[in-house]
Each structure stands twice: as C-alpha cells, then as structure tokens.
Structure 1
Amino acid sequence: MATGSDRLAGAGLVVLSSIIFAYYTVWVILLPFIDNDHVIHSFFLPREYAVLLPLAVALVLLLFIGIFVTFIMWKSRSPKKKSE
C-alpha cells in the first residue's frame, strides 16, 4: 500500500508531467499559427529548441541507462574459475 508521501510524490510527478506536456504542445503545435509579434511568443523559447531539448534529454537518459546497465552487469559478474 502506498504511503501518503508516495502518493504526494506521484501526484507531484503527474502535475509536473501535465504542465510540461501542455507547454510543449502549445509551443510546437499552436505557436506556429500565432503571429510572431503576439505577446504569447515571449513565454516560449525559439522553435529550434523544440527539437534540441528533447534530443538532449533523450541522449542523457540513454547515457544513464547505459551506465546503469554497465554497473549492474559489472557487479553481477561471477569470478572466473582457474583451470588446472
């Protein structure tokens, strides 16, 4: 059973993910259809970052997954037996 702090952490992650999803959706899908001189453009980074930021996050995530798998494989290796 989840404790109160687990539920709070889960709810916080859901809220954070929803905010990031809404921001990115407006940035990538809606912003190109709004005039460039509109005030809403001041709340968003340039469009080039819409591709570069997720790519950088994906590369860092793959790096950490690779490090984790390497660490687990290294720790679980069995000692080699000496042949006589």
Structure 2
Amino acid sequence: MEDNGLGILISAISLSIFSYYTFWVIILPFVDEDHFIHKYFLPREFAILIPVLGGVALLSFLCLFIGVVILKSKYETS
C-alpha cells in the first residue's frame, strides 16, 4: 500500500509540474503583459534555461555513474 501512495504522489507532482510548464510556455505568451497571472510565473528566459540545466545535470550524473561502474568492474576483475 505504501508503494501505491508513493506512486500517486509522484504522479500528482509530475502532472502539476507538466501543467505549470505547459501553461507557462504555450498559453502565457498570448496573455497580456499587465495581466495579474504573470506574477505567478518566472520570466520566459527560464523556460529554456531550467530544462537545459536539468538535462546537463542528468547527463553529467549518468556519465559519472557509468564511469564509476566501469572503473569498479575493471578493478574487481583484475
């Protein structure tokens, strides 16, 4: 039952982030600049910067993990 609750929580968080980002990138550019909704969103430059930095961090971690696994397996077999 704990796994089910954790899965629901992760799904809800993912859905809310996806909805926020979709509204921010697709719908918000068509809303007037002086509308009150703009105060709940970051500037549009961050719409590209945040996913790029996240992707770089993910790829860096993945490369580091693969490197550690390769080095560990190389020294264990010798």
Q: What RMSD over aligned residues (CA atoms) do the two structures have, in Å?
A: 0.7
Q: CA deviation at 1:75?
A: 1.2
Matched residue type, 1:46: P
Aligned length: 76
* Structure of higher CA gyration radius: 1
Normalized against structure 2, the TM-score is what? Answer: 0.93
C-alpha displacement at 1:66, in angstroms?
Answer: 0.7
The CA distance in 1 between the partners of 2:70 and 2:2, in whole Å, is 32
5+ long unaligned stretches in structure 1: 80-84
| Structure with the largest fraction of helix | 2
Query: Structure 2: any 5+ residue segments left out of the alignment?
Result: none
Does 2:76 correspond to 1:41?
no
Matched, 1:72 2:60: no
- Structure 1 runs (4+) deviating above 2 angstroms are none
Sequence identity of aligned pairs in percent? 43
**2:21 matched to which residue of 1?**
24
Q: Which amino acid aligns with 1:56?
A: L
Report how far residue 10 of structure 1 moved: 1.2
